[in-house]
Structure 1
């Protein structure tokens, strides 16, 4: 990996250089929180933000996306071609970069490549930024606290300068054309190690570090814990709406007012929805909230691991913040901790 250093004052020039060719999506202040949004001025970007309410996933996998248009009277189908804007996701935390890597694994599958996702991803650059964990962050437990591949540039604040990890030729060219770039010194590397150490020490120690999570998910698959958790669930799908790795979708046909024309759309869906597992004839494979919550957690912590050798959950903590009844992977980890304590007695 190639590392360079730029001064903090060079940051507006870097953003401006991206704006010459790309739409820049970055974290901005929204009410009491922060959100990813298109920006026209570098001054609007907030890089020392806590976790945004929602992830930047929607720029790669839109909540509603037209697949094709149809004319029922003319019995015609027209491929829908939307303009995919070249853009930069600027200021993305490591957990969200790892989340995008997980989405890549799904939608770039060589057997079933998704052309819509691929078009968005191919047109998108990613500039990551280091962060300090919040109370609900547990990316360190999901091996997602560092971004290794998956970005073009990654910025770490080391005082009045940034250590920049370069991940692509495109990113390197833009960086060198916009900023006064210099090689990292021993002082820069010492500052970087200090920031990294402070970050590791800032994680919430009350969130238990559980080993062999996939095995425990299997071992306690029938435990009454899931009934208790499901009894709380409101089936509101807030967890899925803010999750950076939920990728389930439904397909719907939307008619224009005249009823003769319309479009087929892909829309976000969630396994916590009561109708998600319903099939023709009205049978529902997961009719209870307990079954749906367990399925969601199983996929996040075990199912994806079995196929891709890593957890689908990246520990961003958004679901823990969004859920009004305290359902999240953190509660599952605490359950496993309790079980371990019982076995030790």
Structure 2
């Protein structure tokens, strides 16, 4: 990994340099929150955001996309030509970069790569930026508060300057042309350690740091707690809508008005939706809130880990804010903490 330092005043020049060849997507203020959106000027970027309403996932896995078109009269299928936009996601936090890395495991690096996702991923550069945690963040518990790979540049604010971690030649060339990067000094490294320590000390310590979460998910799989948690679930699917790692989808064939031509579309889906596990014949494998909520938490905190050696949850805290029934991984951790206290009595 190559490290360089640039002045904070050079950041607009770096953004403009990216804009010469790419669509630049960055966090911008929208209402009372922040969203990732295409920008027309570096002045629009809000790098001091806490978190965005939804993650950059939508630029790799759109909420709705056409897979192919068909004509029933001649029984022909036409591959849909996806228009790929060269893009830079500027200002992604470490948790969101780690979330994209997890999506890569499913859609890009698996046995059967998804061509739509892969094409967008390979046409995208990612510029990460350091952040300070909000009260809802618990990415430190899952080791997602630092991004060790999955980005092209990562900017660590060290007070009027940025320590830049460089991991791609393409981004390095743009950085070199737009800024005046210099070798980090001992003072810069000291500032980096101070900034890192300050971030680590700012996490909400009321969130329990529970060890062996995956094992506990198995141990308490039949606990009445899931009945209580599932009974509160409104099945609104807000948790999945804002989650940076949820990747479930549905496939739908949509006919045109003539009833002869149409298209096959992929749309986001959610395992907390009542119809998600409904199959032909009317049987529903997860017909109640208890089973649906438990399944979602199990996949986040155990199932994905078993297959990919890492939690699917990255601790971004979006679901904590989105769920009106207070159903989220933090509540599950608190449940495990209570169980531990009961066992110790």
Structure 1 residues without counterparts, runs of 5 or longer:
none
Inter-partner Cα distance in structure 1 for 2:148 and 2:276 = 34
Kindly state the Cα deviation for residue 311 of structure 1 after the two structures are TM-superposed.
0.2
Query: Which residue number corresponds to residue 232 of structure 1?
Result: 232
Partner of 1:267: 267
Q: TM-score by structure 1 length?
A: 0.99
Q: Determine the structure 1 residue equivalent to 2:340.
A: 340
Q: CA deviation at 1:270?
A: 0.6
Residues 82 and 116 of structure 2 are in contact (CA less than 8 Å); yes or no, is this contact kept in structure 1? no
Deviations 1:63-95 (A, max 9, x none): 001000011223221110021000001000000
Contact 2:33 2:53 in 1 (8 A): yes
How many Å separate the matches in 1 of 2:48 and 2:80? 39
Shift of 1:256: 1.8
In the alignment, what sits opposite 1:163?
163
Give the alignment of 1:5-24 within 5 angstroms. Answer: 5-24=5-24
State the match for 2:127 in structure 1. Answer: 127
Q: Tell me the equivalent position of 1:144.
A: 144
Aligned match of 1:181: 181
Counterpart in 2 of 1:292? 292
Does the 8 Å contact 2:301/2:312 carry over to 1?
yes
| Structure 1 CA distance for aligned equivalents of residues 270 and 195 of structure 2 | 37
Q: Could you say which residue in structure 1 is the equivalent of 2:32?
A: 32
Q: Which runs of 4+ in 1 moved over 4 A?
A: none
Aligned position for 1:95: 95
Map of 2:84 onto structure 1: 84
Matched, 1:282 2:282: yes
Give the superposition deviation at 1:108.
Answer: 1.8
- Secondary structure of residue in 2 paired with 1:183: coil
Unaligned runs of 5+ in 2: none
Q: Which moved more, 1:106-115 or 1:120-129?
A: 106-115
On the 8 A contact 2:2/2:165 being kept in 1, the answer is yes
**Pairwise CA RMSD of aligned residues?**
0.7
Measure how far apart 1:113 and its partner are: 1.1
CA distance in 2, matches of 1:103, 1:61: 9
For the residue of structure 1 that corresponds to 2:205, the secondary structure is coil
SS of residue in 2 equivalent to 1:263: strand
Deviations 1:110-154 (A, max 9, x none): 421111110010001000000000011000001100000100000
Aligned to 1:245: 245
